[in-house]
Amino acid sequence: MAETLILTHRDVVALLDAAELLPRLRTAFTSYAKRTVQAQRHVVPLPASAPAGANGMVIAPGLIAGIPAFTVKVNTKYPGQAPAIRGVVLLNDLGSGALLAVLDSGYLTAMRTGTAMALSAEELARPDAGTLALIGAGVQGAMGLRALRLVRRLERVRVFDTVAGKAEEFCREHGAAAGCPVEPAASVAAAVDGADLVLTATWSTRPFLGADLLAPGAHVMSLGADQPGKAELTADAIRRGVFVCDDRTLAVEMGAIGGAGLDASAIYAELGEILAHAKPGRTDPAQVTIFASVGLACQDLAAAWLVYEKARKRGVGQRIEFSA
């Protein structure tokens, strides 16, 4: 009877490291650029009795050339809850379909998303970019801040959140570890003023980041628009910048492009195409570059496989006879 490894939230936190994940995500995006199977994201609506904005989501299949496994992720999203995202990642053997592991998905999702933002900054942001505007003072913003420190020397961070007091709380909690001043901002405009790195991690359903707010040479990382009805970037911001996404089809169906009312003609490239050198990235220091992500299953596989390998090596997790 096949054994399945159960890895809890605590296990995943102990084993998943952004510095180790970063090169694996580079491989994942490069592999996805040459894909033969399209990533699927399915939003599962919930009845009116559920809290406003709550839904389920299935993300599959996670595939990366050279990894003999695939992932299927099942998440619930409940804005306002702590944590807001709960679920599992199922890691299956590619040859037999056997369930190798079940991993808690909350921390894994936040880590792989934040690290993807850092990968985009490593590739597209100016080398001297050091002032970060962080819009959204939640878990995902914290993960993005942590990961960005791997690829750029941050000199100053300004934080804005629509919830009163949340930006101040974020600054107190994460300021010491950031290695630079982390300060609350009174508005989106105040946070973004002169920033050469802009990270938006919100639940917004209306575009709020316009072209007039972006400094020449800025690199924008938008991750809030990951399902229909969510939006962070205005159409003029997207048109002003060199727009890069993780998946063209999904960017239109449920990402930043669709959220701004645009079509695929506004997309310059997928991040994987740039990483694979099929298209150039930034070509001018004054360019505004934008990476907007919906999140791909291959990112889940990169993170899950890293955790699974380390868990087996260290004897972490519980092994059970889950199926015949």
CATH number (domain holding residue 136): 3.40.50.720
Statement to judge: residues 98 and 145 lie in one domain = no
Statement to judge: residues 192 and 287 lie in one domain = yes
Give, for all 324 residues of the chain, the pLDDT tens digit: 579 999 999 999 999 999 999 999 999 999 999 999 999 999 999 999 999 999 999 999 999 999 999 999 999 999 988 899 999 999 999 999 999 999 999 999 999 999 999 999 999 999 999 999 999 999 999 999 999 999 999 999 999 999 999 999 999 999 998 999 999 999 999 999 999 999 999 999 999 999 999 999 999 999 999 999 999 999 999 999 999 999 999 999 999 999 999 999 999 999 999 999 999 999 999 999 999 999 999 999 999 999 999 999 999 999 999 887
Statement to judge: residues 71 and 141 lie in one domain = no
Statement to judge: residues 150 and 253 lie in one domain = yes
Instruction: Give me 264's structure tokens.
Output: 């695929």
What is the pTM for the complete model shown? Answer: 0.96
* Full residue range of the structural domain in which residue 207 is found: 116-295
Domain of residue 302, CATH code: 3.30.1780.10
Calpha distance 85→88 (Å, rounded) = 10
Statement to judge: residues 255 and 189 lie in one domain = yes
Number of folded domains that form the chain: 2
Statement to judge: residues 289 and 177 lie in one domain = yes
Statement to judge: residues 166 and 130 lie in one domain = yes
Q: Is 172 exposed, middle or buried (0-12, 13-18, 19+ CB in 10 A)?
A: exposed
- The alpha carbon of residue 24 and the mean position of all alpha carbons in its chain are separated, in whole angstroms, by 14
Query: Would you say 105 and 88 are in contact if contact means Cβ atoms under 8 Å apart?
Result: yes
Statement to judge: residues 175 and 95 lie in one domain = no
Statement to judge: residues 121 and 102 lie in one domain = no
Statement to judge: residues 44 and 173 lie in one domain = no
Query: Would you say 246 and 116 are in contact if contact means Cβ atoms under 8 Å apart?
Result: yes
